[in-house]
Amino acid sequence: MHFANTASPRSLLSPLRAVPLRAIIPAPVLALALALVLTLSGCAEPTATMEPEAPAELILTNGRIYSFNWPDPSVDGRTGRLEAETAGEWLPDAQAIAFAAGKVLAVGSDAQLSALRGRSTRMVDLDGATVLPGLIDSHTHVFELGSKLERVDLDDAVDEADAVARIVRRAKTTPAGQWIVGQGWDEGAWANNYPTKALLTEAVPDHPVYMRSLHGFAVWGNERALALAGITADTVPPTGGEILRDANGEPTGVLLNRATTLLEDAQPAPSDNDLERQLLLALTQMAEDGYVSVHEAGATARQMAVLEDLEARGELPLRVYSMLSLREPELMERWIKKGPDSDADSMLVTRAIKGYFDGALGSRGARMLADYADKPGHRGISGESYAFDGALAARAMAAGFQLAIHAIGDEGNRATLDFIEAHQRSSQERHRIEHAQVVAGSDMPRFGRLGVVASMQPPHAAEDKTWAEDRLGPERVRGAYAWRSLREQGASITFNADNPGSDHSIFYGLHAAVTRRDKNRQPAEGWYVDEALTLEETILAYTSWSARAAFSERDTGRLAAGMWADVTVLDIDPFAIIKQDPGQLLNGKVLMTVVGGNVVFASNDLQKQL
Ligand SMILES: [Zn+2]
């Protein structure tokens, strides 16, 4: 693969002259390396045979590196990078980056960093690929992602025969007797001709099969699954549920609405081995997708045990910042007694708790200050009636934990801000509101004043736009997904995808955030495009600002000597592409992910050099 270098060698190097090396390698520095680089950067040609005193373990060369080691943009999006503003275009500020002992050793030109090459240094020629600080997904559900990745995917199955063929393929690699789980068949599109257990039972007789529909309102099983669930002609469905039956009263294999639980509850809970396998599967996928760190938004006691076990064995491929589930009182009590983790640079850091204050906007569960525009008399549900345990959350705050509270509606956000204001001791505690999806104008400045981080999802704006205005009406919708307004009112922001609910692709996220368009590039002019952020802000919201939301912005999120050796390499230069056609952002690919100096993912081409 060849990566076109749109900048000429001269223009590529010009920003290096504009930014003195001192600016790229600030304090805190590895003093020895700094002295070495500064000394040698003046040399005409470093001697190839010389062994440096502090050689790099890995050097990436010939890249388009954006170190982001410059001041943050202003709240209206004006860049803080002086030379970008004067030049009127974005160019990389370095070509090469060297790593040693899990940290960045130096960032500079190829010539400068060749001085750090020792006998055992691994060199990778990036061939003009783009390097960003390592991406951080600040709100994800990794175990759910892993279990989703394991399921048979029926998302685009055209008919019953197509779906059964996919299940048969899975059955061939699954021990007999083990459940086969899948999801994605479209209960809306298939409603006039539901599948039955007949073909499925004939094709897959030896495994219980459970296939969830696209929106979860229907499930489809085979004979073996129905037998294990004890569903017969005599079974009475729960209120609000339906068991589809044939002319003889026999269940056909499809259960609707609340009856879906009959089949769901028949499956065994995942074992610890299942959880570990699913976690590793998810983290491996996230590594392939360019992420160096994930913030797990609500770990249970069993999930924490699996995370801790993998950390102890040194087998976590990515950094995990774990939020403990407020819904698990025993887990909470244990951690309140012991206090938050203080070892900020270990692979697993636990110092936050995740609670839910209200429901979601689509299903009208988000708590609103006034009635839903499309359901008069209805304002959603929140607080204690949504099982939010305020007393426990307050005790966790007092014990030093960061709160990360799901709040979607404008009343949900207001009440959560009230709660934080009442219980925090200082605005430096960086409590978070997850989603901050609909915020009343008068509450926006409170984020900045209280130091509350707004943890938001660019994909949600792209996906919810078709119905959000129905729920909210033309006025309130202006305070929804309001990234720019929140920034202007002083909020600190972090971006993520709330995966697996939405696709965590960084290219989808970048595109949604800068254009307010969906994957089909609609609407062409962007949905309430005034709330878009610049590309620079968006990348920061996925890197340094996400690091800040986990108290680690001094260690990661920018590329400078002494920071963690966390980088993401892309085949496109988003800054170059966005000038031509922002839609092209969607076609980007991740080529390499480095975590603490370890290459956790590399494309085939780059892998050959390692
Ligand atoms: Zn979530």
CA 498 to centroid of ligand 1, rounded, Å: 5
User: Within 10 A of 110 (CB to CB), how many other CB atoms are there?
Assistant: 16
Confidence label for 221 from pLDDT (cuts 50, 70 and 90): very high
User: Mind listing the pLDDT tens digit for each residue in 341-358?
Assistant: 988 779 999 999 999 999
Residue 20 domain-assigned? Answer: yes
Lowest mean pLDDT among 130-134, 212-216, 482-486, 584-588: 212-216
Provide the pLDDT confidence category of residue 8 given band limits of 50, 70 and 90: very low
Question: Ligand 1 centroid vs 297 CA: distance in angstroms?
Answer: 6
- Percent of the chain whose predicted confidence (pLDDT) is above 90: 82
Average per-residue pLDDT for the chain: 91
| Chain-centre distance for alpha carbon 442 | 29
* DSSP 8-state assignment for residue 585: G
**Which pair of structure tokens corresponds to residue 305?**
């045990």
In 438-572, DSSP assigns E strands to 453-456, 492-495, 567-570
C-alpha 556 – ligand 1 centre gap (Å): 23
Are residues 501 and 357 part of one domain?
A: yes
Q: How far is the CA of 81 from the centre of ligand 1 (A)?
A: 34
> Does 526 lie in the same domain as 452?
yes
The stretch 303-316 carries a mean pLDDT of 97
Position 270 in a domain: no
* pLDDT at residue 49, rounded to an integer: 56
**603, part of any domain:** yes
Kindly give the distance from the C-alpha atom of residue 456 to the centroid of ligand 1, in angstroms, as a whole number: 10
pLDDT for residue 488: 98
434, 404 contact by CB (below 8 A): yes
Provide the edge-to-edge strand list for the sheet that holds 590-595. 64-65, 130-133, 567-570, 590-595, 598-602
Residue 492 sits at φ, ψ, to 5 deg, of: -95, 140
CA of 137 to the centre of ligand 1 (A): 12
Q: What's the pTM?
A: 0.86
pLDDT of residue 362: 87
On the question of pLDDT at 400 being above 70, the answer is yes
Residue 437's pLDDT is: 97
What CATH code is carried by the domain that includes residue 247? 3.10.310.70
Q: Which residue has the higher pLDDT, 210 or 47?
A: 210
Model confidence at 217: pLDDT above 80: yes
Separation between Cα atoms, residue 140 and residue 137, nearest integer Å: 7
3-state secondary structure of 355: strand
- 251 vs 144, 227, 261, CA distance in Å? 30, 11, 15
- Distance in Å, CA 496 to ligand 1 centroid: 10
Relative to beta strand 348-356, strand 402-407 is: parallel
- Tell me what pLDDT residue 562 has: 97
Q: What is the pLDDT of residues 413-448, one digit of tens each?
A: 999 999 999 999 999 999 999 999 999 999 999 999
Span 543-568, average pLDDT: 98
Beta-strand pair 218-221/209-213: antiparallel
The whole-angstrom separation of Cα 486 and Cα 530 is: 12
- Please tell me the distance between residue 152's alpha carbon and the centre of ligand 1 in angstroms: 23
Q: How far is the CA of 149 from the centre of ligand 1 (A)?
A: 17
Is 277 part of any domain? Answer: no
361 token code pair: 């906007």
Residue 538 has pLDDT above 60, yes or no: yes
Going from the Cα of 319 to the center of ligand 1, the distance in angstroms, rounded, reads 18
Q: How far away, in angstroms, is 22 Cα from ligand 1 center?
A: 41
Which helix (H) or strand (E) element contains residue 36? helix 31-41
Q: Which amino acid is at 505?
A: S
Ligand 1 centre distance from Cα of residue 406 (Å): 8
The whole domain housing 508 covers 289-548
State how far the Cα of 375 lies from the Cα of 394, in Å rounded to an integer: 34
Does residue 3 surpass a pLDDT of 80? no
pLDDT tens, position by position, 104-160: 999 999 999 999 999 999 999 999 999 999 999 999 999 999 999 999 999 889 999
- CATH number of the domain where residue 600 is located: 2.30.40.10
Residue 527 pLDDT > 50: yes
Q: Which amino acid is at 292?
A: V
398 and 520 together in one domain: yes
CA of 500 to the centre of ligand 1 (A): 8
Query: Would you say residue 127 lies in a domain?
Result: yes
pLDDT of residue 35: 40
Residue 99 pLDDT > 50? yes
Same domain, 93 and 47: yes
CB 434 within 8 A of CB 405: yes
Q: How far is the CA of 271 from the centre of ligand 1 (A)?
A: 23
Residue 25 has pLDDT above 70, yes or no: no
- The CATH number for 331's domain is 3.20.20.140
User: Is residue 509 one of the residues assigned to a domain?
Assistant: yes
Length of the chain equals: 610
Report whether 456 contacts 495 (CB < 8 A). Answer: yes
Domain count, the chain: 3
* Same domain flag for 221 and 182: yes
144: CA distance to ligand 1 center in Å?
10
Do 152 and 113 fall within a single domain? Answer: no
Q: How far is the CA of 608 from the centre of ligand 1 (A)?
A: 37
Residue 141 alpha carbon to ligand 1 centre in Å: 6
* β-bridge pairing 598-602 and 590-595: antiparallel
Residue type, 569: V
Residue 282 belongs to a domain: no
Contact 318, 294 (CB under 8 A): yes
- Residues 124 and 178 both lie in one domain: no
Q: Are residues 48 and 66 in the same domain?
A: yes
User: Does residue 158 belong to any structural domain of this protein?
Assistant: yes
Token couple for 222: 């085979």
Burial of 376 (0-12, 13-18, 19+ CB in 10 A): exposed
Q: What is the pLDDT of residue 88?
A: 75
Would you tell me how many other CB atoms lie within 10 Å of the CB of residue 485? 18
- Is the same domain home to 490 and 353? yes
Question: Looking at residue 191, what is its pLDDT?
Answer: 82
> Are 300 and 443 in a shared domain?
yes
- Tell me, yes or no, whether 215 and 306 share the same domain: no
pLDDT in tens, 254-300: 999 889 999 999 999 999 999 999 999 999 999 999 999 999 999 99
What's the gap in Å between 359 CA and the centre of ligand 1? 11
Distance 56 CA to ligand 1 centre (A): 39
Q: Which residues of 586-604 are buried (b: 16+ CB within 10 A; e: fewer)?
A: bebebbbbbbbbebbbbbe
Cα 13 to ligand 1 centroid, rounded to whole Å: 43
Q: How far is the CA of 366 from the centre of ligand 1 (A)?
A: 14
The answer to whether residues 371 and 443 belong to one domain is: yes
Is residue 538 a contact partner of residue 458, using CB atoms and an 8 Å limit? Answer: yes
Give the residue from 575, 559, 582 showing the smallest Cα distance to 7: 575
